[in-house]
Amino acid sequence: MRQYLVAGNWKSNGNTESNAALIGGLKSTAIGDNVEVLVCPPILYISAVQAETADTAIEVGAQNCSATQEGAYTGEVTSAMLADAGLKWVIIGHSERRTLFGETDEVVAAKVKEAVAAGVKPIICIGETLEERETGQAEAVCLRQMDAVLATNAPSADWVIAYEPVWAIGTGKTASSADAQEMHGALRRYLREKAGDVAEDMRILYGGSVKPGNAAELFGQEDIDGALVGGASLKAEDFAGIIAAANA
């Protein structure tokens, strides 16, 4: 049985004080046996957030990693460094990295390779734009993004896929639970075809304006194994509400 994963992507938000307040606000949130909770702060605040979550079940991850190993790559943080800092998770290929920072499918695949080699579990983000959805290409785009990762990486039960339709990220628009399930089901079938039984253990998260009010319906779908949450992960009450929906 797949455990739900509720992961918060804080993006470039917060500071020492607000991060501490956010974690403080989450400390009393019950986390069920079948739920894992993860927060991904900006890299500079990771060690402070690790200290603040030390006596909780909340895990801490990174939002990005380098596609390279150590060397002369100014500004890059390698997966080995993430592992050395005690991190077990990294978000890779978020649509903001793809669209704003030019990450190609190949770069995403290279980052997955580095993360896995370092023992850091990748949360691999895929998803179509509004134009791609409206022109009937949504599934093909997601499978192409998946294929690029599969081309150079052996599939693993430790992989988490985050299906995040780009048009739903930070816009307040959410895919209907039926549309999301349709894509998650298609992804699971494709992964089964490519990877066999391991696909049953891979978690597929939905991301895109998940809130306490829509989380329960999304989590009720057969192939939705949790959420990657942006905006609502910055408010303790909202993130706690999403965790509560996974606990139920």
**179 and 224 in contact (C-beta within 8 Å)?**
no
The answer to whether 209 contacts ligand PEP (rule: CB under 6 A) is yes
**169 and 125 in contact (C-beta within 8 Å)?**
no
Stretch that binds ligand PEP, among 23-31, 43-51, 185-193, 227-235 (CB under 6 A): 227-235
Stretch that binds ligand PEP, among 63-71, 185-193, 194-202, 222-230 (CB under 6 A): 222-230
Q: How many residues does the chain have?
A: 248
Site string for ligand PEP, 229-248 (x = CB under 6 A): xxxx----------------
Which residue in the set 36, 52, 128, 164 belongs to the binding site for ligand PEP (CB under 6 A)?
164
**247 and 31 in contact (C-beta within 8 Å)?**
yes
User: Active-site residue 184, yes or no?
Assistant: no
Stretch that binds ligand PEP, among 40-48, 82-90, 113-121, 224-232 (CB under 6 A): 224-232
Q: Residue type at 200? A: E
Q: Considering beta carbons, is residue 123 or 195 the nearer one to ligand PEP? A: 123
In this structure, the number of other CB atoms found within 10 A of the CB of residue 77 comes to 17
Least Å distance between CB 43 and ligand PEP?
Answer: 16
Least Å distance between CB 84 and ligand PEP?
Answer: 26
| H/E segment holding residue 160 | strand 160-163
CA distances from 231 to 11, 204, 235, 238 (A): 9, 20, 8, 9
In this structure, the number of other CB atoms found within 10 A of the CB of residue 41 comes to 25
User: Active-site residue 164, yes or no?
Assistant: yes
Site string for ligand PEP, 1-20 (x = CB under 6 A): --------x-----------
* Cα–Cα dist 89/202, whole Å: 14
| H/E segment holding residue 92 | strand 89-92
Site string for ligand PEP, 91-110 (x = CB under 6 A): ---x----------------
> What residues pair up with 109 in beta bridges, in sequence order?
none
Query: What are the residues binding ligand PEP (CB under 6 A)?
Result: 9, 94, 164, 169-170, 207-210, 228-232
Catalytic residues: 94, 164
